[in-house]
Chains A and B, each alone.
Chain A
């Protein structure tokens, strides 16, 4: 059955957005990512104008992350304190990033910087997570003790401990200076604004490897943070660009809210290393896709203004 989308000005088979929503919601509940880096290009592929695809994606992520945050909160996997500090950093970083992108546009090489940042960030995060998860899976299997890593961690730990305003994050079972999540959140905020994405795929590895939070708490806390980011983005897109398609968002969220719940349930049955390696594999597949996109001659040399 086809439905006409009033803002996208196109007609779509309802099974497409519902199915895509379900798949992306599943990833969201499993890994704590918004899934914008996957869903927006897919929507464009199915004929949705790029501006509408990006804006409507944010709207549906509000629903999926609400559903996912709720499911993770019920089982005690959301560190609200950490989430709020990251959100504060992300908010400041977002403002800096928007100014940076304005500057890049004025210099005329914005697209080049965006694409290269995208490929490098996805590539580095994907490769690092993949190798690290693979090693820890093997070591656990072999029963080996990570002596060298412990020493490295304590050196990093000593530096972090030396920072002022140390505070305890009970839910994650860690102690950090409040500046650590604010600065890291700010870093993700800058990159997210430059790349035009929510930043979940960057936030998750940062929480795992730099903040040393437990993987299951990372997923819930990331979703909590994404929820607020996407509420802000949805409003700004609707207000300034008039590009949120309400009907498309409803179709997507029908699938994504259910998917997020299923993902949260399924995620608890997987080990942390399995979750990390799966996310790393998805990030790497997306990286390869983007590398192909920028190296192979495109079928169309013109596109609508507004998307990537």
Chain B
């Protein structure tokens, strides 16, 4: 009896150990699976890359704009959106309106809050066709999304806000600092079965010095599935920087210098004309 009990006890311990091992194995497998899942997702997130070829644009006397190209790799078959923006801020603009029903005058000022001074969006297809409205608004992609994101004061209602946002975009597009277009991004499958993408954009000289953010979005099933970023810095250098800094930081000296040069030039040219006999 005693012997039988011992055998049963050993059997039970053995079963318990086996169960423990099974549970541990299951846990390990689950953990491994999770790790693999995570690794897989991680690989997907790291798949989209973005690099701006010309990330430091310098402004000297002969600067007349530049070009910026953005290239990278994405999963095959996804659509892409490239958005280049300056940091958001507030802008105040004069507002024209009709006075006495006939005369166009400046009738006040409008304040545009949470607006970038520079906003460019390029996409493989029309953003409205590849992204849901919610996703466009979430990532502020496209003018309708930007319109929702921006605060305009003072406006009476949504209709008036839409009208002045339209005018704002027109004003910015005229200044070459706002644009949206589709079909400019070139894509091709590489040897590894991934998608290479490339876009070359004109960088307008009207874009002010500062930091710009290049955001690339991979889009599938009306959703942004991946995101990558790069930076572009625009900086004044040499005499351009010296003069701009002087105008801001030493305005009195700058003012005297401007007047002195103008007086000198006026007298100088007069002397040349006198010598040349031009004034008589």
Binding site for B on A (CB under 8 A): 1-4, 6-7, 9-11, 47, 59-60, 62-67, 69-71, 74-75, 111-112, 115, 231, 234-235, 237-240, 242, 244, 246-247, 249-250, 253-254, 257-258, 260-262, 264-265, 293-298, 300-305
A247 to chain B, nearest CB (A): 7
For B263, what are the chain A residues with a Cβ–Cβ distance below 8 Å? 62-63, 66, 231
A253-B266 contact given A231-B259, A298-B96, CB 8 Å threshold: yes
A43 to chain B, nearest CB (A): 15
A69, B252: Cα distance in complex, Å = 26
The one of B103, B171, B243 that contacts A246, using a Cβ cutoff of 8 Å = B243
Whether the pair A297, B61 counts as a contact (CB closer than 8 A) is no
Number of interchain pairs (Cβ within 8 Å): 184
A231, B207: Cα distance in complex, Å = 32
For A115, what are the chain B residues with a Cβ–Cβ distance below 8 Å? 103, 105
The one of B65, B105, B110, B167 that contacts A11, using a Cβ cutoff of 8 Å = B65
A287 to chain B, nearest CB (A): 14
A-facing residues in B229-251 (Cβ within 8 Å): 236, 239-241, 243-244, 247-248, 251
A111, B164: Cα distance in complex, Å = 20
Q: Taking chain A's interface residues, is the majority helix, strand, or loop, or is none over half, making it mixed?
A: helix
For A296, what are the chain B residues with a Cβ–Cβ distance below 8 Å? 104
Other contacts beyond A238-B255, A249-B258, A257-B270: 18, CB < 8 A: A3-B61, A4-B63, A6-B247, A9-B209, A11-B63, A11-B64, A67-B269, A71-B270, A234-B258, A237-B255, A242-B247, A246-B257, A246-B261, A261-B279, A300-B96, A302-B168, A303-B94, A305-B93
The one of B94, B247, B256 that contacts A305, using a Cβ cutoff of 8 Å = B94
Whether the pair A265, B279 counts as a contact (CB closer than 8 A) is yes
A177, B81: Cα distance in complex, Å = 75
B71-108 CB contact bits vs A (8 Å, 1 = yes)?
00000000000000000000011111101001111110
Binding site for A on B (CB under 8 A): 59-65, 92-97, 99, 102-107, 109-110, 164, 167-168, 170-171, 174, 205-206, 208-209, 236, 239-241, 243-244, 247-248, 251-252, 254-259, 261-263, 265-270, 273-274, 278-280
What are 21 A-B pairs at a CB distance below 8 A? A6-B241, A59-B258, A63-B262, A65-B266, A67-B267, A111-B105, A115-B105, A231-B259, A231-B263, A244-B247, A244-B254, A246-B257, A249-B262, A253-B262, A257-B270, A260-B266, A298-B104, A300-B170, A302-B93, A302-B170, A305-B93
For A298, what are the chain B residues with a Cβ–Cβ distance below 8 Å? 96, 104
Whether the pair B243, A235 counts as a contact (CB closer than 8 A) is no
For B251, what are the chain A residues with a Cβ–Cβ distance below 8 Å? 238-240, 242
For B168, what are the chain A residues with a Cβ–Cβ distance below 8 Å? 302
Whether the pair A62, B103 counts as a contact (CB closer than 8 A) is no
Whether the pair B99, A4 counts as a contact (CB closer than 8 A) is no
For B209, what are the chain A residues with a Cβ–Cβ distance below 8 Å? 9
A254, B243: Cα distance in complex, Å = 19
The one of A11, A265, A293 that contacts B278, using a Cβ cutoff of 8 Å = A265
Whether the pair A305, B109 counts as a contact (CB closer than 8 A) is yes
For A235, what are the chain B residues with a Cβ–Cβ distance below 8 Å? 255-256, 259
A249, B94: Cα distance in complex, Å = 26
For B262, what are the chain A residues with a Cβ–Cβ distance below 8 Å? 59-60, 62-63, 66, 234, 249, 253
For A112, what are the chain B residues with a Cβ–Cβ distance below 8 Å? 99, 103, 105
Whether the pair B171, A66 counts as a contact (CB closer than 8 A) is no
For B167, what are the chain A residues with a Cβ–Cβ distance below 8 Å? 300-302
Whether the pair A250, B261 counts as a contact (CB closer than 8 A) is yes
Interface-central residue, A60, A66, A115, A265, by most chain B CB under 10 Å: A66
The one of B104, B105, B170, B255 that contacts A234, using a Cβ cutoff of 8 Å = B255
A138, B278: Cα distance in complex, Å = 33
Whether the pair A304, B248 counts as a contact (CB closer than 8 A) is no
For A6, what are the chain B residues with a Cβ–Cβ distance below 8 Å? 236, 239-241, 243-244, 247
**CB closest residue in chain B, given A237:** B255
For B106, what are the chain A residues with a Cβ–Cβ distance below 8 Å? 111, 303
B86 to chain A, nearest CB (A): 13
A298, B105: Cα distance in complex, Å = 10
**CB closest residue in chain B, given A308:** B106
